[in-house]
Chain A
Amino acid sequence: MNLAPWQVELDAARDLWADRVALCSNLAELRSVQVDALGKNGAVTALVRRIGEVANADKRAYGQASAALKLVCETAIADKQTALELAEVAAELADDTFDVTLPPAAVLAQKPRAPGQSGGQSGGQSGGQSGGQQLGHLHPLCRVQTDVEAVFTSMGFAVLDYPEVESEFNNFESLNIPGWHPARDMQDTFWLDNGLLLRTHTSSGQVRAMHTFAPPFRAIFAGKVFRYEATDASHEHTFHQLEGLLIDRVVSVGHLLDSMRTLLSAILRRDVQVRLRPGYFPFVEPGFELDLQCQLCAGAGCSACKQSGWLELLPCGLVHPQVLRAGGLDPAQWQGWAFGLGLSRLAMMRYGIGDVRHLLSGDARFLAQF
C-alpha cells in the first residue's frame, strides 16, 4: 500500500526533528531547535498549517497526523530540556576550576574585564567594590541601639545581652506574673514546641542580671522581643526593646526621675521634660508611665500629642520586692528601678519612619538611606 506524499513528508519531518533534538548538546542549541521547529515560522508549524492545501478527503487524516507530529516534537524537546538541565547542573557540580583558596584581595583587585578580552558581556560593573571605595549602610535600629548604649555606657551602665528564646520563669514568674495573672492577657506570647517561649519583653533579663552581678549594679539589655499580634503600620510581632535596671541600697522615685531625665536628654540630644503618672506593671511597685513633654508644642497641646502636651514614652517603676527575691536579693537590703524603652519606636521617632514594617523588611531601597 502506497503512502500519500504528505504522509511520507510528515514521517520524514518526525525523523528529522527527533534527530536534531537528540543532537543538541546544550540548552541554547535546544532553544534554537525549538524555534526552528515549533516557532511562529517553524518548519513543523508550517506543516500543521498546510492542512488548507490538502485534499478534502485527506483533511481529517492529515490533521491528526500533523497534530501527532507536533506533539512528538514538543515531548522530545521537553524531555531533552530536562535532561540537559540535569546535565548542566551535574557539569557545574563536577567542575573543578573554582578555587576557594584564592585570596580575596587578589581577586577583588582584578578589574572585572581585562583589556583586550571582550568575553561577550556588556555593561559596566558597579558592585565589585574593592578596598572600601563604597560605604555600606547601618541599620536604623542598630544606629539607635548603638547610640543609646553609648550614652548608658558613659554613665556607668553595664551592657548585657540575653537570649530570645526564654523560659516561662524568666519571662513571667520571676517578674511577679504568675500563670493566672490577668497581666498575661496583655502579653500575648509565642509558645514554642519545647514549652519555652519567645521573650515578650526584655524584662526577662532582669532576674538573669541580678543572678549574674553583685549589687549594687546598673545595666541595660536590648534586643528583639515578640508578641502574638497582627502586623500593621504600627504593630509588629517582632520589635526591639531596651531594658534598664539599677540596683542600689536606696532607690527612690526621685532617683528614677533624675536618671530618666538625664538619660533621655542624652539620647534625644535635647533637654527634655518628663512626667510620671500611675501605670500598672506587676514587676514594679510603684509603677509608672513616663511621658515626655511634646517637643512640637512645648507642652501647650497640639495634634501630635492629642492636645495633652505629653507623649507616652516608656513604662518604668521601682523594682517589685518579689522580683528582687526571685533575683536572689533581699528587698530589705536592696532596691531598684527599671524601665523598658521601645527601640523600634525610638528609631521611628528619630528617623521619621511611618511604618514599623519597614524595619524588618530587608528592603535595600529603605536601608540605603541610612
Chain B
Amino acid sequence: MWVSWRWLSQWVDTQGVDPQAFAQRFTCTVAEIDSVVRWGFGLDAVVVADVIAVQPHPNADKLRLATVDLGDRQLTVVCGAPDLRVGMRVPFVPVGITLPSGIVVKDGHVRGVPSPGMLASEADLGLSDHHDGLLSLDGVTAAAGTSLPQAFELQDVLYEVDNKSITHRPDLWGQYGMAREVAAMLGVPLRPLDTEVVLGHGAPLQVQVQAPAACFRYVCARISEIAVAPSPVALRLRLRRLGVRPINNVVDATNLVMLETGNPLHAFDARHLDGRLIAVRYAQAGETMVTLDGQARTLTPDDVVITDGHQPVALAGIMGGQNSEIAADTRELVLEAAAFDAATIRKTAMRLGMRSESSARFEKALDPHLPTTAARRFVQVLQAVCPTAVVTSDLTSTGPHCVDPPAGHTLATTTGYLRTRLGLTPAEMSDSWMVQCLRRLAFAVECSADGALTVGVPTFRATKDVRIAEDIVEELGRHYGYGRIASAAPLIASRPPFTSPSRLAERVVRQALVLQEGLTEDVLYAFDHEGQRTRLGLHEHGAPRLGVRNEISTEHCRLRRNLAPNLVATAEQNLQHGDGKEAPREGFAVQIFELGQVVVPAPSRAAASANELAHLDPGVPPLALDPQRQLERDGWFALMDADMVAAVQATVVADRPLPWQPLRLGVVCAERLGGGAEGSKRVVPDRSVSQRVFAQAVSALNSAVRALGKAALHIVPADDPSSKGGQPQEAGLVQTSSWTPDWHTSWRHPRRSARLVAADGATVGVVSLVHPDVRNRLQVAAELAIAELDLQAIMALPDRPLVGLAPAKLAANALDVTGQLRPGVRQDQALNAVRVAVQAANLPVETVDYLYEAALPGDKVVPPGNQTGLPAAATRAVTFRLLCRAGDRSLIAADLAKIQQVAFEALAPFGPPPAAPAGPA
C-alpha cells in the first residue's frame, strides 16, 4: 500500500516536517514503511509544448517529425510515439537534460534528421513504467513553455507501507485513514473529508439485499449526462503513482475514491442493467458470469453476486461483470458503494484466485458507515472530471445497516490500568494527554477525575481492530512512543527453573557423543526423503507413516518414523564428499548422530471418526456460527466477536490425541571400503571393518546411556533363540517402547542386529549393520552400522546406583583364560558359562571380561574356491580375563589353577566338536 505525501497534505498541515524523518517516526508509531520514493522531481527544465505540425520522417517509417510550440520558440524534433498528433499538448525535454529515468537528451541527429530535444512519455520522465505513447497534457491550461511542476501536480514523496503490518487496520487502506493517523502523530488538526454534493430527486433505485449476512449495506445512485473521456493528467498520475492504471474519467473516479477513503466502488453502465431492480444475493451452484478481465467464472452458493434482477452484473466486492462495463459511449451510470462481509469476500477471492484491490480491502472488514461517504466523494470527484454529470436519483441505502449503522462499542477501563500495562507513571503519561491522544484518533472519550475512562470506538476501528482495553494500551503506547518507556524488571519470584528432561538429556547426550565419541551432530528434516528411500530400498515393513496433505514436493510427503533413513542417506553423501579436508578414500569414517522427534502414528489414530476429521477440515471454520442468527441477536459488532466465541468453543477439540512423537537418538557409523574388482561398489566388507563400525555405534549408545546416569544396557542379539525373529509379542519386548511396531525394517541386517534391553526387559534401542541389499545400493562402497535409542524410555529408567565402597586392600590377580569358540558361538555365551561355573564352584572371582580374540583383526582366511570376501567359518580363540580376589587372604597358585581349570571346563562345550577335522573342507 502506497501513501502519497501530497495527498496527506490535503488534510494535514505537514509544513516543516521532513519526509524522511517522517518515515522513521511513522514506522515506530503506525506501520512499517518499506521504502520511500521521491516521485516527479528533477523535471523543472521540462516544459509544456503544443504540437503544431507532424510530418513523416524522410528516412524511417516508424519515426515522425513533430513541430512544437514552446511559447517563445518553435522547434522540430524526431518522435517515435504512435499517438503523436497535431493539437496535442506534450512534455518537451530540451537538450542537455538528464531525466530521472536516466535518459540523457543530447543535441543530435536521429536517422539523419536533427532533433534538438525530445517529447517524453511517462516512463521517460520517471513517473511510471508506462511507455506506450507520450504523456498527454491535454487539458492542462498553463501556457506553452511553462515548466512542468508549475503546470500541474508533480513532486511527491511516496511511502510503501508493508501490507502485512496493516491487515488488522481496515481504516488504513485509504489515504484519509492514513492522514488521520498522521495528524494524531504530529499533533495537528485533521481537515474533514469534503462530501458536500447535490443529490437528485428522481425515482430511487430499487435494491434488495437478499444476503444480509454478506452485505451489511448497499448504497447506490443513478448519475446521468456522463461524457466518458480521459481524466486530466494530474488525476491520471495520482492513480499511476499509487499503482492503479488510469482507464477513463468514470472508472478513474471510482478508483481515486477507493484509494482516498478505502471503500471500493463500482460503476455500472445503466443501459445494460435490465430492469429497475438491483439484487444482492448468493450465487446459484454452477452459475456463471464473465468478469471485467474477460474470464468466465463458475460460482458456488458461497459467492455473492450483484444482479440486475435477471443476471449477475458483478461479483460482489471483487470485480464487475463485463456485461455492464463502462464504455466510451456510456451516458448514464449506476454507482455502487457497499459494505460486504470480510470472510465471504476473502473466501470467494481465494477460491477463484482473484485478489483485487477491491477484495483486498473488503477482506479487512470495512466500516459500514463508509459507503455513504465514498458515494458522496465519488459524485464530487466525478463532477470535477466530468462537469456535465448530474445525480438523478437520491442515494439509495439498503441492507441490515441501511439507515443507521450501529455506533461502535464502548470500552470501560481506567487510565491507571492503561498506564500500568505500559509501565508508565501519571507524571509520564497524564490523564489529559491520554484523552487528547485518543480524541485525535477519533475515539469518543469520557474521563472522570478518578481516572475511570469510557472509550467509544469509532466504527472504522470497531469492525475487528479495537475491541478490548489492551487495544487502547497499544493506541496510547505507540503514540506516546515505545522508545520513551523506561524498562523495568518483572516482579517474579525466583525459584530454580524447571527444565524439560528431554532437553537436559539432549544436552548431556550431545556433549558425550561429540566430546567423547567424536561424532558429528546432524539436524535433518522431519520429513523422509522418498526418492532416497526408494533408491536405497529403505522401508519400514507394514508400519505406516503420517502423510502430509499438501506436501511441498513429492520427496517430502511423509513424516519420518525412524531417524535411520535420513541418516543413512546423509552418511552416504558424507562418505562420497568427505568432510572438506581431503578426498575420502578407503578407511574414511563417517560417524554422525541426530537427536530428534519421530512420528509414530498411534494405532488409535485410525479410530478417529470420519466425523471428527470432517469437522477439522482446514477449510471449515472450527465453529459453525450462523451469522444471520448471531446478527439478529447481538447486532453486527457482536458478530465481529465471533472469533472469541470460536476460540473458547474450539477447546472442545483441544484434546484430540496427537500421534506418538518420541525423542530419539539416531547414530550411523560408517567406513569406506576399498573398491571391489574394477572399482565396483559392490564389496563384501571385511569382518574386522564390520565389527569396528558396529562397535562404534554400540559405543556411542553406551556413552549416551552412561552420560544420562543409567546402568549399561544389555545387548540382545536379534537372532537370539529366546526372542527369535524379534516378534513384538515375544519375550524381551515391552509394548511401551516405540520400537515395538517397527522392528522389521529393510535396512536392518537380520542376523547382525541387536536390541538394547534395559533391566526391566524393555527394548530401548536397536543397533545393526546395514542389510547387504541396502549396502549394495549405496553409491559408495562402505560398511554402515545404524543405531537408534529411545531417549524418553532411557530417561524413564532408574539411575545407576552409585555406592562408595571402601577400596580393596589386596590387589586382584588377573587370570587370562583362552578358549576356542566354534562358528556360531557368541563370546557372551562362553563368558556367561565361565561366570556361572566359577560362581557355582564358589571361587573367588570378581569379574569376567572379554579381552581379545586372536584371529579378530583382518582374519580374512579365504579358502580356495570361496572368494566372496567372507572369512572362513573359522574357529576363534577368545581370551577372557578373570579378576580373582579373596577378601581376606592372598590367593596362591593352587587357587588360580583351580579357577583356571573350572574356566577351561566351562569353555570346553563351545569349542569345535572333537571329531571334526580342523581346517576347511
Contacts and interface: CB of A to CB of B under 8 A. Distances in A.
Given A97-B687, A136-B513, A176-B647, A237 B548 contact: no
A149 interface: yes
B754 interface: yes
Contacts of B580: 364-366, 368-369
Interface string B24-60: 1001111110000000000000000000000000000
A97 B871 contact: yes
B658 interface: yes
A75 interface: no
Counting chain B residues whose Cβ lies within 8 A of the other chain, the interface size class is 35 or more
A14 to B, nearest CB: 25
Name, among A198, A240, A285, the residue most crowded by chain B CB atoms within 10 Å (CB to CB): A285
Contacts of A89: 772-773, 776
Interface stretch (B150-158, B401-409, B839-847, B859-867): B859-867
A110 B581 CA distance: 26
Nearest to A125: B587
A156 interface: yes
Given A93-B749, A96-B823, A252-B422, A103 B865 contact: no
Contacts of A109: 852
Contacts of A114: 857-858
B523 interface: yes
A180 B341 CA distance: 12
B164 A186 contact: yes
Given A135-B515, A193-B548, A254-B487, 4 more contacts: A139-B521, A178-B650, A218-B497, A280-B165
Nearest to B31: A278
Interface in B519-543: 519-527
A255 interface: yes
A129 B518 CA distance: 7
A108 interface: yes
B487 A261 contact: yes
B850 A102 contact: yes
B654 A91 contact: no
Given A28-B867, A108-B695, A108-B696, A139 B653 contact: no
B715 A178 contact: no
A95 B870 contact: yes
Interface in A214-240: 216, 218-219, 221, 224, 226, 228-230, 237-238, 240
B599 A165 contact: yes
Interface stretch (B608-616, B630-638, B736-744): B608-616
B903 interface: no
Contact of A99 (B343, B492, B827): B827
B661 A85 contact: no
A93 B858 CA distance: 20
Contacts of B488: 252, 254-255, 257-258
Nearest to B597: A164
B686 A121 contact: yes
Interface residues of A, number: 151
A368 B514 CA distance: 12
A98 B468 contact: no
A80 interface: no
B749 A168 contact: no
B492 A248 contact: yes
Contacts of A26: 866-868
A177 to B, nearest CB: 8
B517 interface: yes
Interface in B655-695: 656, 658-659, 661, 663, 671, 674, 676-678, 682, 684, 686-688, 690-692, 694-695
A104 B651 contact: no
27 contacts: A25-B867, A92-B870, A100-B752, A100-B753, A100-B754, A101-B827, A110-B852, A112-B688, A138-B510, A139-B522, A149-B503, A160-B503, A164-B597, A168-B618, A183-B167, A196-B656, A252-B421, A252-B423, A253-B477, A258-B488, A277-B29, A362-B522, A362-B524, A363-B577, A365-B577, A367-B521, A367-B579
A146 B566 CA distance: 24
B873 to A, nearest CB: 6
B490 A259 contact: yes
A335 B468 CA distance: 14
Contact of A169 (B486, B498, B521, B654): B654
B165 to A, nearest CB: 6
B570 A278 contact: no
A180 B420 CA distance: 33
A118 B659 CA distance: 53
B276 interface: no
Name, among A31, A141, A276, A369, the residue most crowded by chain B CB atoms within 10 Å (CB to CB): A276
B653 A167 contact: yes
Contacts of A163: 597, 658, 661
